[in-house]
Amino acid sequence: MSDRADSRPTKIMYVAEATAHGGRNGYVTSHDGRIEMRLAMPPALGGDGQGTNPEQLFAAGYSSCFHNALVLVGRRAGYDLSGSTVAAKVGIGPNKTQGYGLAVALSVSLPLVDQELAAGLVDAAHQVCPYSNATRDNIEVSIVLS
pLDDT in tens, 104-145: 999 999 999 999 999 999 999 999 999 999 999 999 999 999
Alpha-carbon dihedral sign for residues 67, 117, 105, 1: negative
Alpha-carbon dihedral sign for residues 51, 55, 58, 59: negative
- The pLDDT-based confidence of 8 (bands split at 50, 70, 90) is confident
Q: Which residues pair with 108 in a beta bridge?
A: 86, 145
Mean pLDDT value across the chain: 95
pLDDT score, position 3: 63
Look up residue 59 and give its amino acid.
A
Q: Is the pTM of this model over 0.95?
A: no
Alpha-carbon dihedral sign for residues 55, 61, 62, 67: positive
pLDDT score, position 60: 98
pLDDT in tens, 56-89: 999 999 999 999 999 999 999 999 999 999 999 9
